[in-house]
Structure 1
Amino acid sequence: MSSTARGRHELAEIGVLAHLFEDKEKIMTDRSNEQVDPRGAIKDPDEWVTGDEPPTAAQESYLHTLAREADADVPADLTKAEASKRIDELQAETGRGQ
């Protein structure tokens, strides 16, 4: 391959790379401009697929912390969904999570 042909080939490669970079920048910019519905990630605990399961360890721990602060009892045998609702109630009572 002659040096002229090699130079044209290298320039073509640079052009392709520049085009790909511009496309990536445009995609990244477009994504950052998207409006996200903050309610989209929040689902009613009654609609949880795993809502009937026992609460997670984190839920139990936080629930007991809030109950202690609110001088409230934690019912035994809560489901994951019930624990979530009780956490919301206790957060409102204690002023946490706001």
Structure 2
Amino acid sequence: MSAQDQPQQPQGSPEKDPDDWVTGDEPMTGPQASYLETLCREAGVEFDPATTKADASRMIDELQERTGRGAAT
């Protein structure tokens, strides 16, 4: 069987920039709020419960780096 005959593996869904999210300006989800609050506490950053989904996503990424929680094992 040649490489052309083999079925292609599904590609992971590409991450969409939070600026492009249709619902990005809505309040963050419960799970986002819970995790973000934990990360904020660990990083010594003030938690804002009025954060939007898009901003929460960005902050989670940033604080994971800062706290080491997002590091691959």
TM-score where L is the length of structure 2: 0.78
Please, what is the CA RMSD of the aligned residues? 1.7
Does the Cα contact within 8 Å between 2:33 and 2:49 map onto a contact in 1? Answer: no
2:49 counterpart of 1:83:
no
Structure 1 residue identity aligned to 2:31: A
Counterpart CA distance in 2 for 1:72 and 1:43 is 26
Question: Which of 19, 27, 43 is equivalent to 2:16?
Answer: 43
Please name the residue that 2:69 is paired with.
Answer: 96
State the Cα distance separating 1:47 from its structure 2 match: 0.4
Residue 60 of structure 1: aligned partner:
33
Unaligned runs of at least 5 residues, structure 2: 1-5
Partner of 1:74: 47
Partner amino acid, structure 2, of 1:78: T
Larger radius of gyration: 1
RCO higher in 1 or 2 (8 Å CA, sep ≥ 6)?
A: 2
Q: Which residue of 2 aligns with 1:34?
A: 9
Superposition TM-score, scaled by structure 1 size: 0.60
- Give the partner amino acid of 1:44: D
Q: What secondary structure sits across from 1:73 in the alignment?
A: coil
Give me the identity figure in percent: 53
Runs of at least 5 residues in structure 1 that lack an aligned partner in the other structure: 1-28
